[in-house]
Amino acid sequence: MTLVLGPVLRHVSETTAIVWVQTEASAEVEILGCSAKTFEVQERHYALVVIDGLTPDSVTEYQVRVDGTTVWPEPDSSFPPSVIRTRGPESADQLKVIFGSCRYPKTGDAKIDDKLGLDALDCFATRLESTPVQDWPDALLLLGDQVYADELTPEARQNLSGHRSKSKRRPPDEVVTFTEYERLYRHTWGDPEIRWIMSTVPTAMIFDDHDIRDDWNTSAPWRAEVNKMPWWRDRIHAGLGSYWVYQHLGNLSPDELAADEDYQKVLVTEGDCWPHLVELADRADYEVDGDKGLRFSFRWDLGRSRLVMVDSRNARILDNGDRKMLGDKEFKWVEEQIGDSLDSVDHILIGSSLPWLLPPALGDLQIINEIAADRSGLRGTIAEKIRQAADLEHWPAFMASFMRLSKLIESVAREGSPATISVLSGDVHHSYAARAMFDGTGDTRVHQLVCSPVHNYVPAPVKPAFKFAWSPRVARLTRRWARHAGSPALPMTWQNRSGPQFGNTIASFEARGREAEVFFEQPEDNGELSTVARVDLND
């Protein structure tokens, strides 16, 4: 018996940890005396082992046993042992989180891999091998595009064309089955360095569009058009079903898993759980009463820091004509999580695959486009075509939600309890740190921190366009244009403090007490990471 994928260390608290694995057959998986039976999806087998009884502020080496046989670490492994590092009173006021998004896998094609450059997360894992355990990050945040279901590697294309005939129902260049998604995850997470770092650094993750399809849920017309495709429901079932198995479940704490009705149904299902995942995916995709039927947003408490990860892709409300990034019920949940017990929090991290604050000129263009797209007639039709063609579907393109999030951040900043509020994002294939300024918010500092891509290609025309969009002079012009078009006054202004940085990048948020800073690092030709920017988040 062997592991197909994993182990992946997911949610970790002071005394508990969750480890995710994929096995080759139905089995009992045991780690540190705690065990779990696998569940089956389309002849694939998975388990989440909940480990309890750990000591706060401890480091515990672990092995994985499947049906009594040790399968991890692998024989002759050159990597350090996988460990579980818990938090506790001694580490409550310290935090190091690495984050990034848009990680395309290595392809084995020299032309493509040379164009992509070195994988920043792969390089970070290599450096971690020789780093003392006490200096390892407390968490790894993957902020979207863990797999590329719409931009296939040559190997993935070859696999599809080799076993599928041309048909409208299931075309040869579209991933539409759970098995095909399983291959994507196995390829992306199977890289030895990535597999090791995910086994030993607690990993939180959220999807973005490429996990399903480019521009996923851009607008109601986009959804209407894509739903006409005969294979789209299969894609939604496979994409959201596999996301739930591979990514979502590990974001939950042991108590949340125990209370999750869907997970409990899976655990008691004899045989294939696929029918339940089909129903689950439909529920997650459909809109009912202005909300979605499944929440993928989640919260992690990290000592005196708090992470609230917001689903800014699937939680969108579009079909009823009331364009929102999140439904009211989910937004209320986000507000409650961010505003909860602020006197015990020094740093708030809000994760969103899509940036809250874009380069100002680009943000105003998205606002202008949304106003035009909401109009009837030819002008609205043209604006919708531009929205889709230019990917104008970030937070400013959902003005009501953009304003609600901005006012939420402003209200928390006015409380003055957190020292910093940072929105961590990806998606836009350049990295930057922007400082947001509200009137009368005291000492709390608010930043948008974007790290993208971890491993992907940045087209040459993108670079001057993003630099131009940061120009204060251009921003003044687009703001006047947006106000003339009907945009409300914004409660804040923002300015660039670092960037734009182009190329493969990994970012680190580091806090000690009420002080915090962020580092952006990029691989050099020899595989070493070098710091390209550092920003003091208390300035």
Report helix, strand or coil for 125.
helix
Element at 51 (helix H, strand E):
strand 44-51
Task: Specify the pLDDT at position 157.
Answer: 81
The amino acid sitting at 121 is L
For the chain, give the percent of residues with pLDDT over 90. Answer: 87
Mean of the per-residue pLDDT values of the chain: 94
Q: Span 418-443, mean pLDDT?
A: 93
Task: Specify the pLDDT at position 154.
Answer: 83
Whether residue 152 contacts residue 494, with contact meaning beta carbons closer than 8 Å, is answered with: no
Residue 15 in this model has a pLDDT that exceeds 80: yes
Q: Span 41-66, mean pLDDT?
A: 97
Q: Span 216-233, mean pLDDT?
A: 94
In 3D, which of 302, 516, 496 has the Cα closest to residue 419? 516
Whether residue 332 contacts residue 401, with contact meaning beta carbons closer than 8 Å, is answered with: no
Superfamily of the domain at 92-536:
Alkaline phosphatase D (PhoD) (3.60.21.70)
Residue 168 in this model has a pLDDT that exceeds 60: no
Question: Residue with structure tokens 């075309």?
Answer: 171
Q: Span 355-368, mean pLDDT?
A: 96
Sign of CA dihedral 357, 339, 301, 332: negative
Question: Residue with structure tokens 């290609």?
Answer: 457
Q: Span 358-372, mean pLDDT?
A: 96
1-85 has which CATH code? 2.60.40
360 class by beta-carbon count within 10 Å (0-12 exposed, 13-18 middle, 19+ buried): buried
Whether residue 175 contacts residue 160, with contact meaning beta carbons closer than 8 Å, is answered with: yes
pLDDT grade for 96, boundaries at 50, 70 and 90: very high
pLDDT grade for 170, boundaries at 50, 70 and 90: confident
Task: Specify the pLDDT at position 48.
Answer: 98
pLDDT grade for 99, boundaries at 50, 70 and 90: very high
Report which of residues 169 and 374 the model is more confident about: 374
Residue 290 in this model has a pLDDT that exceeds 90: no
Q: What is the pLDDT of residues 134-152, one digit of tens each?
A: 999 999 999 999 999 988 8
pLDDT grade for 171, boundaries at 50, 70 and 90: confident
Element at 449 (helix H, strand E):
strand 445-450
Q: What is the pLDDT of residues 457-514, one digit of tens each?
A: 888 888 898 999 999 999 999 999 999 999 999 999 999 999 899 999 999 999 999 9
Residue 319 in this model has a pLDDT that exceeds 90: no
Alpha carbon distance 438, 423 (integer Å): 15
Phi/psi at 11 (5° precision): -65, 130
Task: Specify the pLDDT at position 322.
Answer: 86
Count of beta carbons in the 10 Å neighbourhood of residue 261: 7
Task: Specify the pLDDT at position 219.
Answer: 95
pLDDT grade for 164, boundaries at 50, 70 and 90: low
Q: What are the residue ranges spanned by the domains of the chain?
A: 1-85, 92-536
Structure tokens at 459: 């087209």
Task: Specify the pLDDT at position 163.
Answer: 63
